[in-house]
Every structure is written in structure tokens, then in C-alpha cells.
Structure 1
Amino acid sequence: MALYKQQELKIYNSISKDKEIFKPINEGNIGMYVCGPTVYSNVHLGNCRTFISFDLVFRYLKHLGYKVRYVRNITDAGHLENDAESGEDRIAKKARLEQIEPMEVVQKYTVDFHNILQKFNNLPPSIEPTATGHIVEQIEIIKEIFEKGYAYEVNGSVYFDVLKFNETHEYGKLSGRKLEDMIPNTRELTAQSDKRNPQDFALWKKAEPQHIMRWPSPWSDGFPGWHLECTVMSSKYLGEEFDIHGGGMDLKFPHHECEIAQGEAATGKTPVNYWMHANMLTLNGKKMAKSTGNNILPTQIFSGDNENLEKGFPPTVARFFMLQAHYRSILDFSNEALLASEKGFHRLMDAYHLLDELPNSNSSSFNVSEWKQKCYDAMNDDFNSPILIANLFEAVKQINSIKEGKVSITSEDLEQLKTTMSDFIFEVLGLVDIHVAANDSSEKLSGTVELLIKLRAEARANKDFATSDQIRDELQKMGIQLKDGKEGTTFFVS
């Protein structure tokens, strides 16, 4: 029997603002769409947190035995600066600044995005469509919205008529905003735009003469609206109605609100059953922003090359840190928090490795079945990874007590404990056992690093701390982390 039939999963639905028992449209099958990156720069850490959060969701649903079709798009056109309705395309602007083709920008930062998520051990989605690969479908859905009377054309651009839509539907039901409250605040902007109303949004924009990225359409040579892309790609691969739509909290309005409106206008159906939103990441208590310098890239975490960090951290430690907070809560990123997570990570892994050395008994004083269900209960409660991790550390205490002879366990319970620990640490949380990674390194690498460790120890003995630190720092930049302990220095490859 599939695990999902034995567990009751609840998901916090952003549209109902409540936890709901999860029931997929088709039993045993799940369609999940997550808004992917706009590939005009290196992926930032806040985005990584969102994608790690939905990787956790993807992993747990698969663990429960569901067949999941996970679609995450690449936005490679149509996303204008500051999420606005006018101005320059983010990718086209980067291409102009770097004096390269827009698709070179797309390729460069798509590769970066994939490399970073691979380092974080994210599973790839089932399908990763691009906006530019679905121009024809976007034009067709605009025609459908036109036919239903919810779109209009002005000077070659096509806009969604929010006021007309709101006569028979509810625009704002996801974000909780009322259209009548929006109108007074934006009425003075009406004269500055081709739009009938400031709340209307672009389905198709006519390209200005200098605009590089453009495609022919019945209305003009132009490009699709940013919101339209996700409506088209989600419905094409998951159907007009699907189970889960995810993204960052910042996308709730207007992006996801507009997706709902477009889907309902085109098909008459509500496209998504469960809306999920991951919260933001702050740095030292302040919002991350490139403009203020309060920002850090994932690669800087790995290398330690950032004024906020005293050293580099393996990607799996950074992932573990992020999963120690619930995906819907704000998470503050700091050097101290990462150091604490690193200690916890090693404690967890050390206990996991102890499992093969534990003695067994004729009886158990540790109720493994009850503990195991607590792990499932945590994940069934809206993917509550911090409670799951707390339960894993409860097992760590028990493992250490078994080793010391204070707690007994039968061989059957020990096998169940090993399997459950492995399932939740590696399969569900997606952590990587970097201790094993180091042991699997080539003999030449091991020999070279051991030699450097010996030279570093000699430098420290001679109080040559500059050389000692240089060896450690240079190895960190190459992804080799040194760990000093009572029995000497060990290393692992991140």
C-alpha cells in the first residue's frame, strides 16, 4: 500500500488562509507548478530558499508514493524592470549592458541557476519550459480571452480588463485585496497609459523600435506579458485545473493574482486547488538588496568570500540551515546561525554513522514506531521541516544513549531506526553525507590534502598562523573543508 494512503497530509492554502487536508485531483498523481527564475543575473539566495522549500515538498510527495509532475519554468522574455508594465526587458537590458545577445544572457544565467541548485542537491523538475518556447500558445490564449470579452487592444498592445472580469469573478481573492480599494489609489495614473484602468495588466506588449526581443502576433510585433507565461506553461503541462502552485511570497500580488484571473477568464475554471508561498530570507536582520550591499550569493557561502562570513560552508550545511525554519516563516541568515547549523549537521551525521555500531538487545526501551510516526506527523503538518529535524535530534539523543548502554533496542527496531533516519535525512530533507563524499575522494586527492594538513599543523606548531590560515582558506575555495577535532584534523569535500 502506498504511504500516502496511510498518512493525512495538510497544506496551508494561501487562498483560503487555512490548512486543508490535501486531496489530489487524480488519486496517486500530483501536478505541481512553481514559478522559476528570470535569468538575467546570478540566482540570489532568497530564490534558492524558495526552490529548496519546494524541493522539500517535491521530495516528500514522492516519498509518500505519489507520482508527481513538477513543472518549473524559465522566464527568458517579457519580465520588465521593477515588475512594471512598461520599460525595458530585464534580459534585454543585461544584453545591452554586456554587449551580447539576449539568448547569451539567458544561457549564461540558466547554467548558473542549474549549477547552484545542483550544489544544494535539488532534484530537477519533471519539465522545465521556457517562455520563448511557448509564444504560439501565449498568442492563442490571448485570443481565447479576447473571445470571452476580457481583453482589449490599444496601439498594438493587449490588456486584460480587470474591471470587466471583476463583474462576474473575484479579482484579489488570493492576496485579499479589494478592487474598489485599489482604484482610488491609482486613478491619477490613468492618463499616463494606454490602459483603460490602472489595474489592467498587459497580455501582449507592442515592442518599441529599440526592443531586441520581439515576435509577430495578430496585434503587433511584440512580446508576451510576464503573468501570461506561467498561465500558459502550467495549463499546457498540468491541465486547466491542477493541484499545487508555488512561488515566493513576493509573487502573490500581482503575478499569481493575474494568473488566476487569466486562467478563469480563458477556461471558466479555477486553475489551482492549493496555493503555496515561501517566505523571504533576510541577512543580519535586514532585507537582502543588492542596492544596499546587504546581499550574499550562494557561491560566496561556499567559498566564505563575503564580509558577513568568517569562513565557507558546504552547500548541504546551508540547505540544512534553511530547512531548520518553516518555509512560511521569515528566516534570518547570519554567520552565527550558519555556524550553529554546521555543528548540528555534524552531530546528526555522526549519530547516523553510529547506527552500524550499536548493540541490540532482546527488548526496546526506545519506541521507534511512535517516534517514526512523529516524523511523518511533522511533515504531514504543512511540511514542517523544523519539527521533523527536532524529532531527528531526539533520535540522536537515543542513539548516543544506546551506545552508552543507557537505552536498549532490538535488532528489528534498530533496522527500522536506520531506515527511517536514512529516509528523512537523505530522501526527504535532501541532505548530503559529506563525510562519505570525503571518503569516496580519490587516493591522490586524499594524499595531497593530508600533506597540506600536515604542513598546516607544522605551521601552527611554529605559531605561523598566517600560513596555517592560508592553507585552510585556499582549500575552502576549492570546496575542501577542514574540521579540527580532538583527534586531529579531518576533511570533507563540499
Structure 2
Amino acid sequence: MKNNLFIYNTLTRKKEEFKPLNPKHVGLYVCGPTVYGDPHLGHTRPAITFDILFRYLKHSDYKVRYVRNITDVGHLESDGDTGEDKIAKKARLEELEPMEVVQYYTDRYHSYMDQLNVQKPSIEPRASGHIIEQLQIVEDILAKGLAYESNGSVYFDVEAYNKDHHYGELSGRNIEDLLSTTRELDGQSEKRNSFDFALWKKAAPEHIMRWPSRFSEGFPGWHLECSAMSARYLGTEFDIHGGGMDLLFPHHECEIAQSTVCNGHTPAHYWMHNNMITIDGQKMGKSLGNFITLEQMFSGEHEKLEQAYSPMTVRFFIMQAHYRSTLDFSNEALQASQKGLDRLLEAFGKLDQLTASDASTFSVQELKDKCYAALDDDINTPILIAHLFDAVKNINSMLAEKATLTSSDLSELKALMQNMVVDILGLSAAESNSSEGNDELLSETINLLLNLRIDAKANKDWGTADKIRNELQALGVEIKDTKDGFDWSIK
């Protein structure tokens, strides 16, 4: 069942009918996390946005190769190719090997994505595992005269590229704007122009993460990894490239420039960008220090949280705004999402209580058409959810014997709700306000906290380990450490 999906293409700035390169297969590449800290609420937006797209494409009978990368090298503290590598900085501060940091936070990212019911991608490559491919791109761009060496580093020559191509096509910028808004060089920079970007950086003596090359011992520029890994796993021309709006410039702009030089065309036919989650009117992120981690969301332990919110509540909250619109954090919005989710799942859980009748008093086909129309309109989850609540009203009317459906229509309604609620939106039908559901959630929360305590002890963070134990004991949880981990019970 191929649906008439329209996608807003950032590259052309309009909605376009989705026409994959291969009528049966779709190549989807999404920029994944930089793993140097716990995922926060802002990280859920791209994860859930593209999870729903992934689910819907599969539901539409496409075979999807979904590639989501892990950035574990080359992401400096500044987009101007300056500062310390974020992972190397974390490793230095915590006296760990960089790949220990990478593994620890990658595992935690996966754990939280599992709780949010985000499906695993088909392939999840790491930048550090594709240094050879990245160096090959550097050599290719140099050979074509659109990069230059400088003191052991290699930079992309944006001005030279712009003579035959439009640098800024994706973000709507032009080189004249960049010339007027970037700083004047003082003669000491390695770059010819301040907006040139690094393809390869020579490592400073204190830089931990480095690889040999004919230029220097160094590391690849941050933008290079996605060009290399998308081409490696999806080919030089694929269907959809996704990521957050904050990556549009310079990251995705640089990707297009690199790939265009190497392959003669942009890598993706459709570029999709989710907007940001804001808090007090500002983008939520680590750089501003205004973020709420998922651990805090699920435990409620943050000054801006009035309570703990379950993973499914957070997932449902993300869907309340269209992915291209900003979504502002508030306890009121999260609490409304929690109530709405409970109402939706309660009705879904009562479908089996419905009995068929001789006639139908409402049209399931009309409801189905509206749901698919919402998804086909650039994955419009708020409109889809509104239609699902129309279904909830009808289900409740049937339970109150104020509405009826024939046997075939009732089967169609059950299939529709399964497809929309569980298969596409990825909402867990097991989560409800029942005591059984609450007991399961409580058990999972205690196990999560005690596993975090084990991690803290392994990292010699005795203060955090003691705090978790003391807080749980104060709540009536008896903890017994064992050689295999822990046992616990509630007094």
C-alpha cells in the first residue's frame, strides 16, 4: 500500500510528492547524537520525528534502509573549527579513554530510546570507524582544486566552490552575507576565509583523538562524517536526509558542498528538518545549560518539573506539534499530554469489548481516509491525533450503546487503531493508569535508578551512588547489593 506522501523539502522550500529513487526501497539518513553526555528532552524531537517517518514508510510497504550515525570524533566546541573536541574534553575531565566515554553514553542513549519505543535504525555507524572513507573524500576534493592545505590541516575553499555552485542553497544564505557577517581575518588564521571549513585538522599536542594521514596526525572535520557514511551505506544519491534545524547551517550546507564536489550532485533528494524544543522561549540545549535530561524527565528531579513523566507521555508530548514547528516545554502541556494519552490508550484497550451490530452509525472509511491524509501531509501528527480522538468519541459512544458498527466496520476500526496508535505513532498500549501498569512502571524506575547507582560506583562517584541509595531507602525501598548486581523490595 503505497500512500500519496508529501514531504516539505528544505532544499526547495516547498512540499513535494515523495517519489523514491527505487519504487520499493527507501534510503533514509539521519544525523544522530554526539555522545558526550546524557540525552536531554531536545534530543527526543529528531529521534521520534524520524522514528514515525521510518514506521510510516515501512507501513507503506517500502523496504527502508535507515542509517543514523553516532558522532564520536571531530565535533569541536565551535562551528568555526576551534576549541576542544567535546568527547575528548569529557574524557580528559573524567580521566577516561575517549572511547569509554563514547561507549558509556551510546549505551545510555540506546537505553532511553528503547524506553521511548524508538525503533533501532538499520545501520548505526560511528565516525571513528570510517576515517579511511573520510580521508578519501579529502583527497578527492583536493585533487579537484576545491580544498587547500595549511599547516597540516585541510580546508574546503568555499569561495572557489561558489564560483560554479551556490554555497548556502539549503539554508538560504549567500556568500556575500557570509562575507559581511563573519569576522575579518587577522593574518594569523590558517584559513583563507573565515567561512572555509575543516576537512582535516592537525591535532594539537594535547589532543587525544588522532589518526595518521599524509597531512598530519589529526582528525576529520565534523561535517565530513555524514558525507562519508551516507555514501558508504546508501550510495552517493539517496532519498531522504534528516536532522534538527540547528544542523541546517553549517553542517548540512557543508555536507552538500562536499558531496557535490565528489559526486557532481547533492546527496539527498529530500531534506527534512525538525524544529526545536524551547524552554522559556529559548532553544533547549547543552550549550545554553537550559536542558532537562531524560533521566530527570522520568524521575521528576529537576527544578522546572512538577512531577515525573513517563516515556510514553514524553513521546506523546513530542507529537502535539508538527515536527517543523517549535514545541515549548511546560508542565501544563506535559500533563495535558498525559491525560490525553491515558484517554486514547483506555479507549484502545476497550476495543475488544465492542460487539458488532446490523448497521453502522458512523463511517470508519471516512475516519481512515482522514488519518492517512494527515500522515501524507508531511507527517502531520497533531491532525492525526485529533482524528484519533474522534475515534475515541465513537468508541465511547459504542460502549454506551449510542453508536453501532457492522462486523466488517468494527474489524476495520480495530485494524486502523492498531496501525495508527501502535504501529505508526509507536505508543505502548501497555501503558495506562491501571495499577498493574503503575506497578510495572515503578519496578522499571527502581531498576533504572539502581543501575545508575552501579554506574556511579564504577566511576567512583560515591556521592551519587550514596544519594540514590539513601533516597530510595527513604521511600521505603530495601536494597541488598549482591555479586551479580542488586536485589530490592518495598517495605
Q: Structure 1 residue 342 and structure 2 residue 338: aligned?
A: yes
1:67 aligned partner, one-letter code: K
DSSP 3-state at the match of 1:434: coil
Contact kept in structure 2, 1:227 and 1:259, CA below 8 Å: yes
Distance 1:279 1:351, change over 3 A: same
In structure 1, what is the equivalent of residue 234 of structure 2? 238
Q: TM-score, normalised by structure 1?
A: 0.87
Alpha-carbon separation, structure 2, partners of 1:401 and 1:475: 43
In structure 1, what is the equivalent of residue 388 of structure 2? 392
Of 77, 82, 85, the match for 1:89? 85
1:354 aligned partner, one-letter code: K
Of 408, 411, 423, the match for 2:407? 411
Deviation at 1:290, TM superposition (A): 4.8
DSSP 3-state at the match of 1:81: coil
Of 91, 106, 116, the match for 1:110? 106
Distance 1:438 1:262, change over 3 A: farther
In structure 2, what is the equivalent of residue 294 of structure 1? 290
Alpha-carbon separation, structure 2, partners of 1:343 and 1:366: 26
Kindly report which structure 2 residues correspond to 1:440-479, keeping only aligned pairs within 5 A, or say none: 474=475
Alpha-carbon separation, structure 1, partners of 2:40 and 2:380: 24
The Cα offsets for residues 450-476 of structure 1, whole Å up to 9 and x where unpaired, read as xxxxxxxxxxxxxxxxxxxx99x9599
The Cα offsets for residues 43-97 of structure 1, whole Å up to 9 and x where unpaired, read as 1211111111111110111111110000010111111013331221111111111
The Cα offsets for residues 96-134 of structure 1, whole Å up to 9 and x where unpaired, read as 111111111111111111111111000000000001100
Distance 1:258 1:291, change over 3 A: closer
Alpha-carbon separation, structure 1, partners of 2:476 and 2:399: 34
Alpha-carbon separation, structure 2, partners of 1:435 and 1:253: 39
Alpha-carbon separation, structure 1, partners of 2:332 and 2:200: 47
Alpha-carbon separation, structure 1, partners of 2:435 and 2:122: 30
In structure 2, what is the equivalent of residue 377 of structure 1? 373
Alpha-carbon separation, structure 2, partners of 1:357 and 1:324: 29
Alpha-carbon separation, structure 2, partners of 1:283 and 1:337: 12
1:425 aligned partner, one-letter code: V
Q: Structure 1 residue 128 and structure 2 residue 102: aligned?
A: no
In structure 2, what is the equivalent of residue 76 of structure 1? 72
Deviation at 1:299, TM superposition (A): 1.1
Deviation at 1:288, TM superposition (A): 2.3
Of 207, 216, 230, the match for 1:220? 216
Alpha-carbon separation, structure 2, partners of 1:438 and 1:420: 28
In structure 2, what is the equivalent of residue 42 of structure 1? 38
Alpha-carbon separation, structure 1, partners of 2:435 and 2:157: 58
Of 289, 312, 318, the match for 1:316? 312
1:117 aligned partner, one-letter code: M
Deviation at 1:440, TM superposition (A): 8.3
DSSP 3-state at the match of 2:184: helix
1:32 aligned partner, one-letter code: L
Distance 1:286 1:178, change over 3 A: closer
Alpha-carbon separation, structure 2, partners of 1:475 and 1:390: 41
Distance 1:365 1:162, change over 3 A: same
Q: Structure 1 residue 53 and structure 2 residue 40: aligned?
A: no
Q: Structure 1 residue 160 and structure 2 residue 156: aligned?
A: yes
Of 353, 358, 362, the match for 1:362? 358
Alpha-carbon separation, structure 1, partners of 2:120 and 2:371: 25
Q: Which moved more, 1:75-84 or 1:278-287?
A: 278-287
Deviation at 1:335, TM superposition (A): 1.1
Alpha-carbon separation, structure 2, partners of 1:143 and 1:291: 33
Alpha-carbon separation, structure 2, partners of 1:440 and 1:43: 25
The Cα offsets for residues 279-319 of structure 1, whole Å up to 9 and x where unpaired, read as 00012444324576532111111111122222212101110
1:257 aligned partner, one-letter code: E
1:166 aligned partner, one-letter code: N
Deviation at 1:359, TM superposition (A): 2.7
Distance 1:295 1:29, change over 3 A: same
Q: Structure 1 residue 204 and structure 2 residue 193: aligned?
A: no
Alpha-carbon separation, structure 2, partners of 1:191 and 1:47: 39
Q: Structure 1 residue 173 and structure 2 residue 169: aligned?
A: yes
Alpha-carbon separation, structure 2, partners of 1:193 and 1:343: 56
Q: List gaps (5 residues or longer) in structure 2.
A: 447-470, 480-491
Contact kept in structure 2, 1:54 and 1:246, CA below 8 Å: yes
Distance 1:378 1:474, change over 3 A: farther
In structure 2, what is the equivalent of residue 254 of structure 1? 250
Alpha-carbon separation, structure 2, partners of 1:344 and 1:20: 32
1:222 aligned partner, one-letter code: G
* CA-based RMSD: 2.3
Of 402, 411, 431, the match for 2:398? 402
Alpha-carbon separation, structure 2, partners of 1:326 and 1:288: 17
In structure 2, what is the equivalent of residue 32 of structure 1? 28
Contact kept in structure 1, 2:42 and 2:291, CA below 8 Å: no
Alpha-carbon separation, structure 2, partners of 1:28 and 1:267: 24
Alpha-carbon separation, structure 2, partners of 1:434 and 1:309: 25
Could you tell me the percent identity over the aligned residues? 58
In structure 2, what is the equivalent of residue 452 of structure 1? none
In structure 2, what is the equivalent of residue 481 of structure 1? none
2:100 aligned partner, one-letter code: E
Deviation at 1:435, TM superposition (A): 4.1
Q: TM-score, normalised by structure 2?
A: 0.88
